[in-house]
Amino acid sequence: MRHPVTKAVIPAAGLGTRFLPATKALPKEMLPVVDKPAIQYVVEEAVRAGIRDVLFVTGRNKNALENHFDRATELEMILRRKGDEAKLLRVAESTDLANVHYVRQGDPKGLGHAVLRSKAHVGGDSFAVLLGDDIIDSRDPLLERMLEVHDQRDTCVVALMEVDTDQAHLYGIATVDATEEEDVVRVRGLVEKPEPGTAPSNLAIVGRYVLKPEIYPVLEQTAPGRGGEIQLTDALLTMADHHAQGGLHGVVFRGRRYDTGDRLDYIKANVQLAVEREDLGPGLRAWLKEFVGTFGD
């Protein structure tokens, strides 16, 4: 058994331009999905996988995020005075969840640059990266499996999902070789957001990574790529060629994932997660049936 992964890095410093104007003063990771900010689902996922040390990479507008994971003394006092235990618990949930730390990215120079900002905190151990706007449904464990593959093969691991061909240009796309395990592939090549119609496969990288610390010197050497940003995908491609470092593997995920940085996916995430809730589900389901009926054919 290798040294267990104990640290998670959650980049949340992007500009979130697809979601303007909502993200003018609020990081997109703080947008609520039903009644919790997207990023709280992500921290809960890390904790479920046994990781309680969480480093947020933040940018401008970080106050809302910091406040969410901090005590809300005044609010707690009012709720306590009212004897509203249920709401008090809801307020405390995010405070007690994990040991949170922050580092600023400065200019948003890309995901690779955001990950590089975690170097001093992470040090010499492997670590997980969870994108703060990407929610994996808690019923479909992914990070646990990625940690297992990292542990067994001593390799960097990315999460891969099959996407429709017409969506491939929105993702980093991998070319892969099969392994003896049905859900694990060896990554041979990667291309970040290929031009429409040129994607070498339909296997897209989604927002979960387990990385070895050897990625840091590679990131330091990675020149700005697509869009003038330091791309994590470019550094991962270098890791794929580092056979002495175990190369790069992918876990093919077939569960439910919601990209809350995309407006349509964000709306779907709200509906899907609310429909399954005991408190909101029955009312929403009944209304949805009626509403859909008004569309005609």
**Contacting residues toward ligand UTP, per CB under 6 A:** 11-19, 29, 57, 105, 108-111, 113-114, 131-133, 261
- Least Å distance, CB 48 to ligand UTP, is 19
Other CB atoms within 10 A of residue 192 CB: 20
Residue tagged 């290798």 (tokens) = 2
- Least Å distance, CB 20 to ligand UTP, is 8
Q: CB–CB of 85/25 below 8 Å? A: no
- Least Å distance, CB 230 to ligand UTP, is 8
Residue (134 or 184) nearer to ligand UTP, CB: 134
Residue (79 or 160) nearer to ligand UTP, CB: 160
Q: Tell me the C-alpha distance between 112 and 109, whole Å.
A: 8
- Least Å distance, CB 238 to ligand UTP, is 19
Residue tagged 């106050």 (tokens) = 63
Q: Tell me the C-alpha distance between 209 and 187, whole Å.
A: 13
DSSP 61: B
Helix (H/G/I), strand (E/B), else coil: 59: strand
Residue (224 or 246) nearer to ligand UTP, CB: 224
Residue (66 or 85) nearer to ligand UTP, CB: 66
Residue (18 or 188) nearer to ligand UTP, CB: 18
Residue (173 or 184) nearer to ligand UTP, CB: 173
Maximum Cα interatomic distance, the chain, rounded to a whole number of Å: 61
Helix (H/G/I), strand (E/B), else coil: 220: helix
- Least Å distance, CB 268 to ligand UTP, is 17
Residue tagged 């309680």 (tokens) = 52
Residue (132 or 250) nearer to ligand UTP, CB: 132
The tokens describing 278, both together, are 């005991």
Q: Tell me the C-alpha distance between 262 and 268, whole Å.
A: 10
- Least Å distance, CB 225 to ligand UTP, is 13
- Least Å distance, CB 118 to ligand UTP, is 11
Residue (46 or 114) nearer to ligand UTP, CB: 114
Position with the least CB separation from ligand UTP? 14
Measured CA distances, 26 to 20, 37, 113, 147 (Å) = 10, 11, 21, 32
Helix (H/G/I), strand (E/B), else coil: 156: strand
- Least Å distance, CB 12 to ligand UTP, is 5
Q: Which of 194, 177, 282, 268 is nearest to 231 (CA)?
A: 194
Element (H, E) at 238: helix 232-241
